[in-house]
Structure 1
Amino acid sequence: MSTMMPAPAGPAAQVDPHAGHDMSTMGQAAPSSAPMAGHDMSAMTPAPAAPATPANPHASHDMSAMGQTPSSGAMPSGHDMSTMAMPPDVPTSADTPGRMPEMPTPAGATIGPTHAADTLFDPAEMAAAREQLRVENGDVRSSLVLIDRLETSFGDGSEAYSWDAQGWVGGDINRFWWKSEGGGDFGGRLEDVEVQALYSHAFAPFFDFQTGVRQTYRPEGDRTDLVVGVQGLAPYWFEVDGALFLSNKGELTARAQAEYDQRITQRWILQPRVEVSLSAEDIPELSVGSGLSSVQLGARLRYEFKKEFAPYVGVEWTRRFGNTRDFLQTQGRSAEDTRFVVGIRAWF
């Protein structure tokens, strides 16, 4: 501890009252004539030996700089840290200067077969095993059939039926997608039926680009359309579906719909739904006007006996606008309609 930094100076030290005392004979009886003469205590009986003092664990430590604040990044003097494991040289928000640099990949790591297991097993068998692993973990073929609405509606003294179903088969990225919807009056004519056959490609984690054809059957006239659209799950769990249709007669129309499942309990689910139809031009043959043709708002409350089967009840309001409204009124039909619905939703 010879170089140990002295403690800060305190108050002035007092004079030692025994500074001039000779203690070489301490412990011997002093002559009566000269009591404590010279205070020679050289022969004083030593005190019993104390237990051996344990070795000072800091005996080899250099404490010459003790009490000083080490400079930034420097370790205290006397501590050998040359073999201490250092973190990798990766930038962080608390980057510490002086870190060991990250060493490059050894040259030997890139020498040898691409698959080390091929040196121990039959390469053909290992290739088949890797292909099977790829199929089971990213190239799975699956399918779905969803009957979103199969219902009967009541309103304006009439009863009608309608359906809206879709499904797909394929993998995670590319699929064949089909859609069908239509409806009519009980005891009357079938108003319209449409069937779509689409190629679907996932361009984002929750959205697919779709293109294909649509065939529509109506009493007024059939149509074949080229379809380009987008379908997916928007933020906040809104299911959206929008498409443009170009018919074989050059008519351009569009349709967009969105729905949302509001879970009330584990089995009761309320589903609001909106559908908007537009047209680039008047189509008198189909009673469709240019611009915003119609808006349909609905809400259905379903009860899921199972995830795959749920009956529901609801209400649906439809309003036509612009020339579409004029076409219907000319035919003696109402441009606004409110109907109660009862139906089933299922998938498998």
Structure 2
Amino acid sequence: MDHSQTQGMDHSQMEGMDHGSMQMQGGSAPADARDPHAYSDGITLEEGPYALPGPRQLRLADEHAFYGVLVDRLERVDNGEGHALTYDTRAWFGYDYDKAVLKAEGDIEQGRLAEASTELLWSHALTTFWNSELGVRYDTGHGPDQSWLALGVAGLAPYWFELDATAYLGDDGQTALAVEGEYELLLTQRLVLQPRAELTAYGKDDAERGQGRGLFELVAGARLRYEISRQFAPYVGWEWATALGNSADQVREEGEATQQTRWVAGVRFWF
């Protein structure tokens, strides 16, 4: 807009102007416009007075490889009839967009590994808060060992809910689905309440492995931890588990309870 047109006008006169007569910025740049790439004065990462010899020194964050290990649950579980040691860990190595992820969880009873599940996945960033996961899983423990192909998504849902949903294709055409969700409620800067729920389902009956078609098991509970540091926190908690559908029928036939209440105590740490 030519500002000389508005000199001497009061505010009401300016409001009454025909905005169609204003010359708005747009179209091609003027011939004397400065090159937007010229602000560096010809200095680049490889040339100029500040360039360092040898390979490029400056690298952006998404060009670096990162790694980490999180032991989310390492706890003693007491269900009133006995106790066990449970672990749930994950480790990762890679870049912002692509990384290798190792997940491992299981139960140790009477000094022996009673049940275990291990996954090796390739994680790829889909959006800012969500990753896709593709890989394999291997289960040992109840019945014959079992291998799976895994495909899922994991990320942070609105209102800060952490969700993990994975579909599996296993031996003899067996299929499975596991959905896990949790939330961290900060009671203070160090005291954190973490509700958690996990639901599993199978595509067909497998009595040898104790898998019933349809919904299999629901586990829900909460853990209260105190973060001595951000990387180390002891906790106590309570958990309720129930068998569902055909799996509940199999449990009843074996003369066992379909529901369990568990008290847990453990530590959470990462590095």
- Is TM > 0.5 for Structure 1 vs Structure 2? yes
Q: Which residue in the other structure is 1:154 paired with?
A: 78
Which whole-Å CA distance do the structure 1 matches of 2:250 and 2:269 have between them?
36
Q: Secondary structure at the match of 2:249?
A: helix
| 2:42 matches 1:117 | yes
CA deviation after TM superposition for structure 1 residue 111, in Å = 11
Which amino acid is 1:73 matched to? Answer: M
- CA contact under 8 A between 2:142 and 2:210: conserved in structure 1? no
Q: What is the correspondence of 1:57-96 to structure 2 with a 5 Å cutoff? A: 72-73=16-17, 96=19
Aligned-pair Cα RMSD in Å: 3.1
Q: What is the correspondence of 1:1-348 to structure 2 with a 5 Å cutoff? A: 72-73=16-17, 96-102=19-25, 104-106=28-30, 116-117=41-42, 122=47, 126=51, 131-133=56-58, 135-186=59-110, 189-348=112-271
Structure 1 vs Structure 2: percent identity of aligned residues?
Answer: 33
Which amino acid is 1:318 matched to? Answer: A
Q: Secondary structure at the match of 1:324?
A: helix
Q: Secondary structure at the match of 2:21?
A: coil
- CA contact under 8 A between 1:158 and 1:185: conserved in structure 2? no
CA deviation after TM superposition for structure 1 residue 272, in Å = 0.4
Q: In 2 relative to 1, CA 337–232 (structure 1 residues): closer, same or farther, beyond 3 Å?
A: same
Which amino acid is 1:210 matched to? Answer: E
Which whole-Å CA distance do the structure 2 matches of 1:114 and 1:280 have between them?
62
Which whole-Å CA distance do the structure 2 matches of 1:343 and 1:111 have between them?
57
Please say which of residues 136-145 and 282-291 is displaced more in the overlay: 136-145
Could you list the per-position Cα deviations for residues 33-80 of structure 1 after superposition, in whole angstroms to 9, with x for gaps in the alignment? xxxxxxxxxxxxxxxxxxxxxxxxxxxxxx9xx9x9789228xxxxxx
Q: Report which of the two has the higher share of strand.
A: 2
Q: In 2 relative to 1, CA 203–129 (structure 1 residues): closer, same or farther, beyond 3 Å?
A: farther
**Is the radius of gyration larger for structure 1 or structure 2?**
1
Q: Secondary structure at the match of 2:251?
A: helix
Which gives a bigger RCO, structure 1 or 2 (Cα 8 Å, sep 6+)? Answer: 2
Which whole-Å CA distance do the structure 2 matches of 1:262 and 1:274 have between them?
15
- CA contact under 8 A between 1:175 and 1:201: conserved in structure 2? yes
Which whole-Å CA distance do the structure 1 matches of 2:114 and 2:184 have between them?
29
Q: What is the TM-score with the length of structure 2 in the denominator?
A: 0.85
CA deviation after TM superposition for structure 1 residue 97, in Å = 3.6
Across the two proteins, how many residue pairs are aligned to each other?
259
Provide structure 2 residue ranges, at least 5 long, that are not aligned to the other structure.
1-7
Which whole-Å CA distance do the structure 1 matches of 2:64 and 2:88 have between them?
27
Q: In 2 relative to 1, CA 218–235 (structure 1 residues): closer, same or farther, beyond 3 Å?
A: same
Q: Which residue in the other structure is 1:13 paired with?
A: none
- CA contact under 8 A between 1:239 and 1:259: conserved in structure 2? yes
CA deviation after TM superposition for structure 1 residue 262, in Å = 0.7
Which whole-Å CA distance do the structure 2 matches of 1:263 and 1:274 have between them?
18
Could you list the per-position Cα deviations for residues 216-251 of structure 1 after superposition, in whole angstroms to 9, with x for gaps in the alignment? 112511111100000111111111111011113211
Q: In 2 relative to 1, CA 107–221 (structure 1 residues): closer, same or farther, beyond 3 Å?
A: farther
Q: In 2 relative to 1, CA 295–106 (structure 1 residues): closer, same or farther, beyond 3 Å?
A: same
Which whole-Å CA distance do the structure 1 matches of 2:64 and 2:37 have between them?
32
Q: Secondary structure at the match of 1:228?
A: strand
CA deviation after TM superposition for structure 1 residue 199, in Å = 0.5
